[in-house]
């Protein structure tokens, strides 16, 4: 595997479809991406350790160890952006990927330009400058460590839940539509986003101890979306 050029955006492509790998690598290199390719989980994880990329393109249907397991292992050691490739259309698969920490999904078959656009959007989100720490009511968020505490007690949030909470905190007091939340978080496919966003909101509420009927933090705005109040009556 060729070494990556540190002056260019480094992509690690993990997929056992070698024909697709060759096509994508050629396409992305034409737009000044540096691409490394791995054809299975073991090779991909070794490449991640040896030459950390700026973004990972990860196929779900890998031999022996699937992409979900790889995503889980990556998230144990890195916050590198992950875009998952899948031929599956089931909403549940997309939710699992988001829960494990994937940043976006692209369903096969796809156009290379679509993948590149998704990659660039994910890279822009990950590069946003954010203050290291912010406190909202009883919540303390540390962007660098992805740790959230409530009244000094650490909450166990998945990467997707942390990202969603971050969107709410940065837009405190504003009504956010599901489309807006979608744009600012993981960009899941439009035919799946309603349920995916609602599931994430529900799980985040549970971990915040928030009653949707009498919310302290996240209010449902009927027919529109959600508003984060930060444990206040504003």
Q: What is the pLDDT of residues 58-105, one digit of tens each?
A: 999 899 999 999 999 988 777 789 999 887 665 666 777 778 888 888
Residue with tokens 């986003």: 193
Per the structure, the count of domains in the chain is 2
Looking at the fold, whether 108 and 153 belong to one and the same domain comes out as no
Q: What is the pLDDT of residue 159?
A: 83
- The pLDDT of 200-211, averaged and rounded, is 91
Q: What percent of the residues of the chain are helix, what percent strand, and what percent coil, each to the nearest 5?
A: 40, 25, 35
Does 176 lie in the same domain as 91?
Answer: no
Taking a C-beta distance cutoff of 8 angstroms, is the pair 80, 53 a contact?
A: yes
d(CA 24, CA 186): 22
> In whole angstroms, what is the distance from residue 64 CA to residue 44 CA?
13
One domain for residues 14 and 122 = yes
CA distance 191 to 2: 38
Q: How far is the C-alpha of 34 from the C-alpha of 172, rounded, in Å?
A: 38
Structure tokens at 159: 């990467």
**Confidence at 196, pLDDT banded by 50, 70, 90:** confident
Residues 112 and 42 in one domain: yes
45-79 CB burial, b ≥16 within 10 A, e <16: bebbeebebbbbbbbbebeeeebbebbebbbeeee
Model confidence at 193: pLDDT above 80: no
| Low-confidence winner among 40-44, 59-63, 124-128, 138-142 (lowest mean pLDDT) | 124-128
Residue 132's pLDDT is what?
67
Shared domain check, 166 and 137: yes
**pLDDT value of position 89:** 61
Q: Report pLDDT for 233.
A: 42
Residue 124 confidence (pLDDT) = 81
CATH of the domain at 163: 1.10.10.10
**67's tokens:** 């992409």
User: Which of 187, 188, 164 lies closest to 176, judged by CA?
Assistant: 164
- Please tell me whether residues 104 and 149 are part of one structural domain: no
pTM as predicted: 0.56
Distance, CA of 194 to CA of 212 (rounded, Å): 17
Rounded to whole angstroms, the Cα distance separating 158 from 75 reads: 10
- Same domain for 59 and 120, yes or no, is yes
Give the range of the structural domain holding residue 159, as residue numbers without chain letter. 133-228
Domain assignment present for 3 = no
Count of H-run helices and E-run strands, the chain = 8, 12
Q: Which residue among 127, 146, 166 closes a domain?
A: 127
Q: What's 122's domain CATH number?
A: 3.40.50.2300
- 108 assigned to some structural domain: yes
Mark whether 15 and 105 lie in a shared domain. Answer: yes
140 shares a domain with 64: no
* Structural domain includes residue 4: no
Beta partners for residue 9, in sequence order: 33
Among candidate residues 82, 106, 127, the one where a domain is terminated: 127
Burial class for 107, CB neighbours closer than 10 Å (0-12, 13-18, 19+): middle
Q: Which of 74, 103, 127 is where one domain is finished?
A: 127
Residues 111 and 145 in one domain: no
Contact in structure between 168 and 228 (CB atoms under 8 Å): yes
Q: Is the pLDDT of residue 194 over 80?
A: no
Note whether 48 and 139 are same-domain residues.
no
């Amino acid at each position: 595997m060729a070494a990556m050029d540190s002056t260019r955006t480094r992509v690690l492509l993990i997929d056992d479809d070698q024909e697709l790998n060759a096509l994508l690598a050629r396409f992305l290199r034409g737009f000044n991406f540096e691409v490394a390719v791995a054809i299975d989980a073991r090779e991909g994880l070794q490449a991640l350790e040896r030459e950390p990329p700026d973004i990972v393109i990860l196929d779900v249907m890998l031999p022996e160890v699937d992409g979900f397991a790889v995503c889980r292992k990556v998230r144990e050691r890195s916050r590198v952006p992950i875009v998952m490739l899948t031929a599956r259309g089931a909403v549940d698969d997309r939710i699992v990927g988001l829960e494990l920490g994937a940043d976006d999904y692209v369903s096969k078959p796809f156009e290379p330009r679509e993948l590149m656009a998704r990659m660039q959007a994910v890279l822009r989100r990950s590069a946003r400058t954010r203050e290291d720490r912010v406190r909202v009511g009883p919540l303390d968020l540390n962007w660098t460590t992805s740790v959230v505490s409530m009244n000094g007690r650490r909450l166990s949030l998945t990467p997707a839940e942390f990202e969603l909470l971050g969107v709410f905190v940065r837009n405190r007091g504003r009504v956010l539509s599901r489309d807006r939340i979608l744009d600012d978080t993981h960009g899941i496919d439009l035919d799946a986003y309603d349920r995916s966003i609602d599931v994430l909101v529900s799980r985040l509420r549970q971990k915040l101890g928030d009653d949707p009927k009498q919310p302290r933090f996240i209010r449902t705005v009927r027919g529109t979306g959600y508003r984060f109040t930060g444990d206040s009556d504003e």
